[in-house]
Structures are given as structure tokens and as C-alpha cells.
């Protein structure tokens, strides 16, 4: 790996070290004349294009205008005449290059020849699947995420897609919510870096990103999907909005309104969120789409008596396009004719849709030849990127007695757990165009990597949900005959996903009993967890010899797992979400506020009487095969002005015998402000490779403006005074120093 992560304005005073493994490094897709590529810069109206849009709008009938505001959902019965008659502006989910080509061609035959916008859920790769988004965040490597996203865009563009319904950048502090798998985790700074990387990568690859779900969906009460959210404005600005702003600055041209009601008003028809913050305050010039049929859901939310009111409230709030519903189609023209919706409002929405189409060059460039697609999917470049980023996403949670990487003395490996060989559970919840046949499972990966003379045996133990324990005895026999056991357990792809909220977060079914039986053999057990959310793996954390949290790693899953287990790659993933010990601790996150009664032994302090306050694993945590020591933190800017930049450095040394890839993290605590501030907030990080014995000073910088919190009207404020700066390998970093921000 020859990349290094740079925080905003970060300078790293070290030489890049040699690659730590022989696995080929990720690379961007080729610059391909047949596939477009777009710059990572905010969409701004330009006068020449706006003139073309004016001319087009002047010629459009009301029906054609309403058509542009409609995104259909493809099905077998999709009628090309919808595209040909211009009553549909966008379509999601068409199956392949030939279908896409036919649909675009039909739209070009419409009266005004306005091309249709083709989209789909390209969430973590298209044909070549990258890790599920929570794993992308766990890399703490925005550049690698950008490269992986570029491949997703490139493959999707090659079959004629223009647009993806991703990235999901909902902050969530509640692992009961199944959709945490689709997002960047709990932290606004990390999420903003990942959001910008995904957006710019998708653009480089050739498609436009959608920032979703705007906004607050990840705070669904009780972690139950689609449930209401209650977020005070200050928290909305401090935590939930920044990844959206970062994505827009990186060039996102579309935003999807969330299903949920925020503070009692559904996001789909929320004027403060859409017309207010997004379009007015931020100057967002792109289009806002609904989520799947969520305009109709306004009736269920109880804010519209019928479809007409739902359509009216949505468009008046700033929603430009309806996905997979008929509320706009059936009602908007009537609403305009009856004077309840101004024509200017419809025109403005149409303008935004057309602006995106013009920006993509759809009016001016040829459509890709559908025959090209086959040569651009699942290429060697995509696969090596998928393999590198999959390995980089995995988090080593435990490694007792240096069980990993496998020692040369390991000659017999027992792989236990049927998920070790189910391709779909390595792919994750949004398989896009991925094929099971392409996937390297854990079992296949270990078999392929095992050196001559090392055997890999397999026993499923139980079914993939581990409901039926009848295979336990055979699994225990297989384990007992081996030198080391690799137990692959966790959640199936459909157990962490949309509509997959859980109230219990342990390993599903009888997995823990199987694990106990394997551990009882006395053989070292390496637990490889597949899944998309933090789980309460307390017993495993104490009793497994090692735990590798692999998320859903994608097409190259098993190859990447083997890379890590055999030590070809150092595990460098870090947790993007706090792991609770018990569901009762949720919501649990590192950036909490202090309380008036910090936890002590005293009865009347802020604590539980039946569980620690501490998580099982903190945010930012993860082990390396190197042994990393932090020393000598220096604050380089003890006194800074409000427009200045904080700089600090620290000595990082690998005292171990293996190469180590460390994520150096900087957290800040604003000690006294006019509002209570979190005890830690991540503000910078850098990933460094260290050979055994190698030592470097790593410098991190934070613009003082990044220390701001927000008032309830969105104004950013930095209160002068003391800021404690922590640097270390997780949100539990202890070395710290003090910076004073001068108020003058």
C-alpha cells in the first residue's frame, strides 16, 4: 500500500514505508473514452445551461413537466411507451445494458427528446462488490474508499446507468437499526470524509451520487426501521447534517428525502429541511427525490388526507421527484390547474431535474454501446481493489497469545460454520449486479491460500442461521482434529439490512453454543464474524483466541480474509461504531456529553447498577499485528486564533515483530463552552505503515473552525478557551495536551 491518509491540512512527517504485503494495490479504473467521468465539485447553475433549460421548459406541456418529476421502478411489465411519451423522467432498477439502452432510446424518441435518467441501488459496488458501507467506513481510508467507489461507478456506467441511490450517510448510534450496515457509523467527521470520498469516486467512475436519507433516519426511535426521530436542531447541525454538506461540496447532485418524520414532520414534506437548509442555506442546485413511495406514505404519517394533499405538501416543501409512486402523476396537474400549487414551483423542480441531466451531458453525448459492458465488469483492476479494501475493512478485535497471523506450525485448519461457504453472506445486503458465482467465500479463500502441506477441513456445524444444532458433534470432531479452528459466524445478509431491526444483538440462533463447544476442544478458535452491525459478542471476546470482524466483505471476501489470517496483510480496520456490552446501553457512542454526576462508585452517579458504562469495544478501536506505542505528544500551537489551525504531533513506534498499519486519531474536548460539549470528538486521523522497530513522528492538524458547534439556527460558534487534544489509537486515547483558542 503506498497511500497515506491525510486529515484536512494534515502534514505527516514520515517517509512512506514499503508495501506490507504482496497483494496487488488498488488502483483507479482506466480513463475510458466510452465511459464518462465527472469532476468532484459542487453543482452550480451556469448561464448557458440555464438558457437551454429555459428554452426547454417553455416548450413543455404540464404533463411533460410532471413526467420529469417521476422516477419509475422497473418491473417486467415496464412499458417503453412511458419513456417514449415523456411521462417519466427517471427509472430505477432496469436489469441490464440492453434494457437500459432500449429505455434511453425510447426517451430520446419522445416529443422533446429529453433523455431519461437511469438509476439503481449501487451501494457498495456493482458487479464487483466492495465491502458493505460500514466496512468502507472501518477502513478509515477515504482515498481507498474513493477508488472503490470509482469502480462501482465505472461498472454501473458501463451498463448505461447515470445515477446511483447511494451513498447512505445516515449517522447512527443504534445498532438495533439494521441499516447501520449501509452507512458510515456514528461519527460526523469520519462520515463526512467517507461521504466526500464516495461521491467523488462515483463521479470519477461515471455516475452521480445520491446522498441519503436526508435526514436523521439513523436516529429511528428504539432502532425500529422507519420510526420517528426526535433530534434537536443543535444536534442536527452538529452531527447529522455534516456528511450531507460534505457530500454536496464533493459534487453530489441529488439528495433523497428520508422516510422518517423528524420532530413530527416527515422529511418528504419538510420545508425547513428541503427548501430551507438544503436549497436556501446551502445553495444546493441539484434535485431532491423521495424515497420509495414515501409521498403516498404522508397519508400514513397523518399529515395528508389524500394523494393530492400529499403531492402538494411534498412539492411545496421542496421535493422535486417522486420515486416509485403515483401521487405526482395523479395529482400535480390538477393541483396546478386549481391554483393550489404555483406553476413556478413545478417549473423549478423540472429545472433541477434537467440541470442534472445537462450536467451529465445526456443531451450532448452518445449513450454507451451496450455491448461494451461485458468487457468492463469484474475486471482484474476491480477485483484487486475489492480485495485490498475488503482486507482493509476488517477489524481485529482480539488476538490472545498472538494467535494470528497463523504460524508456520499450523498444518491443519478446521473451518466451521455454514456461512463460511455461503456466497451471499459474504456479499452483503445490496448485491446490485453481483453474482454468487463470482464470490470467493472464506472456505474457498483459505483453501486457495493454504501452503502446500496444510489442510483445510470443513464442517458446517449448523445451518446459516444456526437454528438446528444437529451438526455440532461433527463440527467438534473436525475442530478437535485440527491445529487451529476458524469459526465463521454472524448475521446472514438479510439479517442486517433495511427492515431488519433487532432487539437482541448476540450472535443469532445457537451460534454461541457452537462457539462454546469449539472452544471446549482446547484448540485455539479464531472467530470470523460476518455481519453488518456491532453485536454483543461478550463471551466470544473473553474466550475466542482471536476475533476478526469482517463485516460483509464483498466479491473478494475469502481472499481478503485469508490475506489477513495468514498475515499477508496487516488488519488495519478500526471500529466506526461503538460496540455495546448490552442492548440496554443503547444509544451508546463515544462523543457523549459529560454529566453533572460522572460515574463513580456512588449510587447517585450516572451509571447502571447491572452493567458497566463502558462499551465492549470503543469507537476507533482495532488491533494490528504490529505492537504500536504512542509517546511524547507535543502541542505545536499552544495558543491559536479563531482563524488559525491547531497542530500537534506524536511519536508512534512499532515495538512488535510484524509490520503494523496504525490509524493515528486526534480527538478534541472543548473544556468550557457556553453549551456542554462532547468529552471527545474525532477531528483528524492518519494511517501509517510501520515496519518492526520503525518509529515516526506523526503530525495532525485541525482548523479551529472545525471545533465549532451550532446554535439552533445553524450558526457555527467556537467559544474561546481551553481545548484538550488527545492523540492515540482509538477514542480511548490517553496522551493529551492543551490548546488555548484566543478570543481576540
| Catalytic sites, residue numbers | 291
Q: Residues 78, 292, 406, 709: which binds ligand BGC (CB under 6 A)?
A: 292
Angle, CA 325 vertex, CA 319 and CA 326 arms, to 5°? 95
Question: What are the grid coordinates assigned to 627, written together?
Answer: 505492537
Per-residue x/- mask for ligand BGC, residues 84 to 123, rule CB under 6 A? -------------------------------------x--
Nearest C-alpha neighbor of 150 from the set 210, 197, 108, 85:
197
* Smaller CB separation from ligand BGC, 181 or 557: 181
As measured in angstroms, the least distance from the Cβ of 247 to ligand BGC is 15
Nearest C-alpha neighbor of 137 from the set 203, 192, 179:
192
* Smaller CB separation from ligand BGC, 83 or 165: 165
As measured in angstroms, the least distance from the Cβ of 184 to ligand BGC is 14
Question: What are the grid coordinates assigned to 623, written together?
Answer: 488491533
Q: What are the beta bridge partners of residue 212?
A: 168
* Smaller CB separation from ligand BGC, 165 or 310: 165
Close Cβ partners of 465 (under 8 Å, ≥ 6 residues apart): 492, 495, 508, 509
* Cβ pair 65, 346 in contact under 8 A: yes
As measured in angstroms, the least distance from the Cβ of 292 to ligand BGC is 4
Distance CA 21, CA 242 (A): 35
Per-residue x/- mask for ligand BGC, residues 120 to 159, rule CB under 6 A? -x--------------------------------------
Nearest C-alpha neighbor of 68 from the set 279, 351, 359:
351
As measured in angstroms, the least distance from the Cβ of 426 to ligand BGC is 22
693-732 residues in contact with ligand BGC (CB under 6 A) are none
Chain-centre distance for alpha carbon 145: 10
**Distances 279 to 157, 287, 317, 329, 734 between C-alpha atoms, Å:** 28, 9, 11, 24, 42
As measured in angstroms, the least distance from the Cβ of 498 to ligand BGC is 6
**Distances 526 to 50, 581, 679 between C-alpha atoms, Å:** 60, 20, 34
Cis peptide before 266 (omega within 30 of 0): no
Cis peptide before 405 (omega within 30 of 0): yes
Is residue 322 involved in binding ligand BGC (CB under 6 A)? no
Element (H, E) at 67: helix 62-68
As measured in angstroms, the least distance from the Cβ of 225 to ligand BGC is 9
- Nearest residue by C-beta to ligand BGC? 165
* Smaller CB separation from ligand BGC, 244 or 726: 244
Cis peptide before 215 (omega within 30 of 0): yes
Length of the chain: 744
Nearest C-alpha neighbor of 207 from the set 157, 167, 249:
157
Q: How many CB atoms lie within 10 A of CB 136?
A: 32
Size of the site for ligand BGC (CB under 6 A): 6
As measured in angstroms, the least distance from the Cβ of 166 to ligand BGC is 7
Is residue 212 involved in binding ligand BGC (CB under 6 A)? yes
526-565 residues in contact with ligand BGC (CB under 6 A) are none
Tell me the helices (H) and strands (E) count for the chain, helix number first.
21, 26
CA dihedral 272, 278, 282, 287 (to 10 degrees): -150
* Cβ pair 689, 17 in contact under 8 A: yes
Q: Residues 122, 134, 165, 394: which binds ligand BGC (CB under 6 A)?
A: 165
Using only C-alpha atoms, the chain has a radius of gyration, in whole angstroms, of 26
Is residue 498 involved in binding ligand BGC (CB under 6 A)? yes
As measured in angstroms, the least distance from the Cβ of 480 to ligand BGC is 46
* Smaller CB separation from ligand BGC, 268 or 403: 268
* Smaller CB separation from ligand BGC, 26 or 202: 202
* Smaller CB separation from ligand BGC, 151 or 292: 292
Q: Say what angle helices 142-158 and 380-393 make with each other, to 10 degrees.
A: 140
* Smaller CB separation from ligand BGC, 259 or 472: 259
Question: What are the grid coordinates assigned to 343, written together?
Answer: 406553476
As measured in angstroms, the least distance from the Cβ of 593 to ligand BGC is 30
As measured in angstroms, the least distance from the Cβ of 120 to ligand BGC is 8
Question: What are the grid coordinates assigned to 218, written together?
Answer: 439513523
* Smaller CB separation from ligand BGC, 124 or 212: 212
Q: Residues 155, 187, 291, 388: which binds ligand BGC (CB under 6 A)?
A: 291
In a 10 Å sphere around its CB, with 0-12 CB exposed, 13-18 middle and 19+ buried, how is residue 77 labelled? exposed
* Smaller CB separation from ligand BGC, 92 or 110: 92
Residues that bind ligand BGC (CB under 6 A): 121, 165, 212, 291-292, 498
Amino acid at each position: 500500500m503506498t497511500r497515506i491518509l491525510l486529515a484536512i491540512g494534515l502534514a505527516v512527517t514520515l517517509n512512506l514505508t514499503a508495501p506490507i504485503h504482496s497483494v496487488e494495490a488498488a488502483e483507479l479504473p482506466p480513463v475510458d473514452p466510452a465511459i464518462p467521468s465527472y469532476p468532484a465539485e459542487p453543482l452550480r447553475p451556469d448561464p448557458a445551461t440555464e438558457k437551454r433549460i429555459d428554452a426547454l421548459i417553455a416548450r413543455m406541456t404540464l404533463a411533460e413537466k410532471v413526467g420529469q418529476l417521476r422516477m419509475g421502478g422497473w418491473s417486467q411489465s415496464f412499458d417503453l411507451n412511458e419513456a417514449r411519451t415523456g411521462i417519466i423522467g427517471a427509472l430505477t432498477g432496469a436489469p441490464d445494458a440492453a434494457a437500459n439502452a432500449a429505455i434511453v432510446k425510447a426517451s430520446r424518441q419522445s416529443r422533446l427528446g429529453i433523455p431519461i435518467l437511469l438509476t439503481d441501488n449501487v451501494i457498495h459496488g456493482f458487479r464487483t462488490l466492495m465491502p458493505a458501507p460500514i466496512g468502507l467506513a472501518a477502513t478509515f481510508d477515504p482515498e481507498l474508499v474513493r477508488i472503490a467507489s470509482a469502480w462501482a461507478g465505472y461498472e454501473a456506467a458501463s451498463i448505461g446507468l447515470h445515477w446511483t441511490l447511494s451513498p447512505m450517510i445516515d449517522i447512527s448510534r443504534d445498532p438495533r437499526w439494521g441499516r447501520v450496515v449501509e452507512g458510515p457509523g456514528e461519527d460526523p467527521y469520519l462520515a463526512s470524509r467517507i461521504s466526500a470520498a464516495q461521491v467523488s469516486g462515483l463521479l470519477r467512475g461515471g455516475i452521480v451520487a445520491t446522498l441519503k436519507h436526508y435526514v436523521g433516519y439513523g436516529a429511528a426511535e428504539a432502532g425500529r426501521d422507519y420510526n420517528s426521530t426526535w433530534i434537536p436542531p443543535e444536534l442536527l447541525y452538529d452531527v447529522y447534517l455534516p456528511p450531507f454538506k460534505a457530500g454536496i461540496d464533493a459534487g453530489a447532485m441529488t439528495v433523497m428525502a428520508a422516510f422518517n418524520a423528524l420532530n413530527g414532520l416527515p422529511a418528504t414534506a419538510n420545508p425547513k429541511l428541503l427548501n430551507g437548509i438544503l436549497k436556501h442555506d446551502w445553495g444546493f442546485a441539484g434535485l431532491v427525490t423521495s424515497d420509495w413511495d414515501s409521498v403516498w406514505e404522508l397519508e400514513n404519517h397523518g399529515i395528508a388526507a389524500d394523494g393530492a394533499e400529499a403531492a402538494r405538501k411534498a412539492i411545496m416543501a421542496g421535493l422535486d421527484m417522486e420515486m416509485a409512486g403515483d401521487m405526482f402523476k395523479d395529482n400535480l396537474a390538477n393541483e396546478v390547474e386549481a391554483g393550489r400549487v404555483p406553476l413556478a414551483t413545478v417549473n423549478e423542480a423540472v429545472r433541477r431535474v434537467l440541470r442534472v441531466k445537462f450536467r451529465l451531458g445526456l443531451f450532448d453525448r452518445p449513450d454507451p454501446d451496450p455491448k461494451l459492458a461485458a468487457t468492463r465488469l469484474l475486471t482484474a483492476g476491480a477485483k484487486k481493489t475489492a480485495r485490498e479494501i475488503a482486507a482493509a475493512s476488517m477489524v481485529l478485535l482480539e488476538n490472545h497469545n498472538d494467535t494470528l497471523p497463523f504460524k508456520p506450525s499450523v498444518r491443519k485448519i478446521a473451518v466451521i460454520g455454514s456461512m463460511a461457504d455461503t456466497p451471499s453472506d459474504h456479499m452483503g445486503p445490496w448485491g446490485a449486479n453481483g453474482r454468487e458465482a463470482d464470490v470467493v467465500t472464506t472456505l474457498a479463500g483459505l483453501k486457495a491460500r493454504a501452503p502446500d502441506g496444510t489442510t483445510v477441513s470443513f464442517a458446517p456445524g449448523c445451518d446459516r442461521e444456526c437454528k438446528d444444532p444437529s451438526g455440532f458433534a461433527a463440527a467438534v470432531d473436525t475442530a478437535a482434529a485440527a491445529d487451529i479452528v476458524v469459526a465463521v459466524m454472524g448475521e446472514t445478509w438479510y439479517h442486517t439490512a433495511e427492515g431488519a431491526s433487532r432487539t437482541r444483538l448476540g450472535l443469532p440462533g445457537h451460534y454461541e453454543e457452537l462457539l462454546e463447544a469449539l472452544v471446549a476442544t482446547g484448540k485455539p478458535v479464531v472467530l470470523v464474524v460476518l455481519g453488518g452491525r456491532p453485536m454483543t459478542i461478550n463471551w466470544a471476546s473473553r474466550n475466542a483466541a482471536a476475533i476478526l470482524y469482517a463485516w460483509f466483505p464483498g466479491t473478494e471476501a475469502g481472499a481478503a480474509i485469508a490475506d489477513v489470517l495468514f498475515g499477508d496483510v496487516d488488519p488495519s480496520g478500526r471500529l466506526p461504531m461503538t460496540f455495546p456490552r448490552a442492548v440496554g446501553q443503547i444509544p451508546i457512542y463515544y462523543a457523549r456529553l459529560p454529566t453533572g454526576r460522572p460515574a463513580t462508585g456512588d449510587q447517585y452517579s450516572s451509571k447502571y447498577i447491572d452493567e458497566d458504562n463502558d462499551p465492549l469495544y470503543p469507537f476507533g478501536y482495532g488491533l494490528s499485528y504490529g505492537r504500536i506505542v504512542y509517546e511524547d505528544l507535543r502541542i505545536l500551537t499552544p495558543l491559536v486564533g479563531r482563524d488559525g489551525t491547531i497542530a500537534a504531533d506524536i511519536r508512534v513506534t512499532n515495538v512488535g515483530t510484524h509490520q503494523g498499519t496504525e490509524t493515528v486519531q486526534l480527538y478534541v474536548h472543548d473544556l468550557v463552552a457556553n453549551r456542554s460539549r462532547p468529552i471527545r470528538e474525532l477531528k483528524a486521523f492518519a494511517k501509517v505503515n510501520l515496519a518492526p522497530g520503525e518509529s515516526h513522528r506523526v503530525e495532525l492538524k485541525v482548523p479551529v473552525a472545525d471545533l465549532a458547534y451550532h446554535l439552533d439556527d445553524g450558526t457555527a460558534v467556537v467559544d474561546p478557551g481551553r481545548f484538550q487534544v488527545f492523540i492515540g489509537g482509538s477514542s480511548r486515547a490517553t496522551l493529551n495536551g492543551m490548546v488555548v483558542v484566543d478570543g481576540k
